[in-house]
Amino acid sequence: MKITQIDVFKYNIPLKAPIAISLGTIENARNLLVRIHADGRVGWGEGSPFWMIVGETQETGFAAARDFAKLLIGQNALDLEGNLNRLDAYLPNNPTIKSAFDMALYDLAAQAAGMPLYAFLGGDRFPLITDETIYLNSPERMAEDAVRIKEKGGLAIKVKLGTNQRDDIRRVEVIREAVGDGIPIRTDANQGWNYVTAVNVLKTIQGWNIEYCEQPVKSWNIADLKRIRTQTTVPIMADESLFSPRDALRLVQEEAVDYFNIKLSKSGGLFNAQKINAIAEAAGIPCMIGCMSESRLAITAKAHFASARRNVTFYDLDAPFEHADDPVVGGVTYNGYEIELPDEPGIGATCDETFLAGMEKLEIR
């Protein structure tokens, strides 16, 4: 199944409004789309280079994609490990653009097998329930968003924190007062606290039905992740500390966290995501499938992965809720917060050609 052509697009999707986390604010989703042609089939992949987390931008990914595409032209599309090893050997790191190539190759492989991706990965289709994220704002505005989510039938609310102790405690307090005690709150500091602030905030809110806290301190600070875990009853989840299978192994060895957040744009794609989950499963660590700012195309691939790995028990797949446009054809459907997968061979999602017509494009043959 010879790769004959690869197209790469600057895949820009406007947001309804800017979204803010402790690391910065983004105005639009500046993603990357990869389309791989092989023996009459087309595989699609998407990466979302959140620069403040992965250290990549759309421009750096677009530049790397040209060289990656040249490496793969003429190769057997079904040689997943060989092709992905070629990319790693040529350019270490750059996981986001690699994840787009990885996704497109898995799409082709599952199509060739005549199986939806979840089945190709060894799983079965079942409904997934995503949370919805509330981004940094005033406590009152965040509480209004929380009420809206509850009224829409949300079963979990993810709350961005990571500014200062007083304001973050107040944010959670006002949200809890607004929605009552029943709905769990998932907190995410995005590395915004130090050890002392993290402990003080989590000790204050730990009785307020807090399901977990993502990445309370800097990504490199594994020692403080471990210390914080001993000081609070709130489970700790690794996000920015977890890119690779090697990171997963270190976090397990250090007994630093309770949960892993797997994101394809961090891991380099499905190939490594499966390794990370296997390490977590062996260590008794449940995982979440998370997102950056991907369209429903990449969200569909993530949902296939989650359906194929029962150790993935949390689902944070709400990125399209923030998008002003939906350029995806096929893919997952949202019934409120329930996600249903397509059953076509491969990922089962493509992108509208009219939308892509206005995008900057590379074409490698």
Those residues whose C-beta lies under 8 Å from the C-beta of residue 341, and which sit 6 or more positions away, are: 116, 118, 125, 300, 303, 304, 307, 332, 348
Name 75's Cβ contacts closer than 8 Å, sequence gap at least 6.
Answer: 2, 3, 82, 83, 86
239 is in an annotated binding site: yes
Whether 16 is a known active-site residue: answer no
Q: What is the CA radius of gyration of the chain?
A: 20
Active-site annotation holds for 150:
no
Q: Which of 160, 218, 266, 302 is catalytic?
A: 160
Token output for 130 = 């995503």
Report whether 88 belongs to an annotated binding site: no
**Burial class of 15 by CB neighbour count within 10 A (0 to 12, 13 to 18, 19+):** middle
CA distance 28 to 328: 17
Has 79 been labeled as part of a binding site?
Answer: no
Pairing of β 349-351 and β 328-330:
antiparallel
Catalytic one among 263, 266, 275, 302?
263
Q: What is the DSSP string of 277-289?
A: HHHHHHHT--EEE
| 3-state SS track over 170-192 | HHHHHHHHHHCCCCCEEEECCCC
Binding residues: 188, 214, 239
Binding residues for Mg(2+): 188, 214, 239
Active site residues: 160, 263
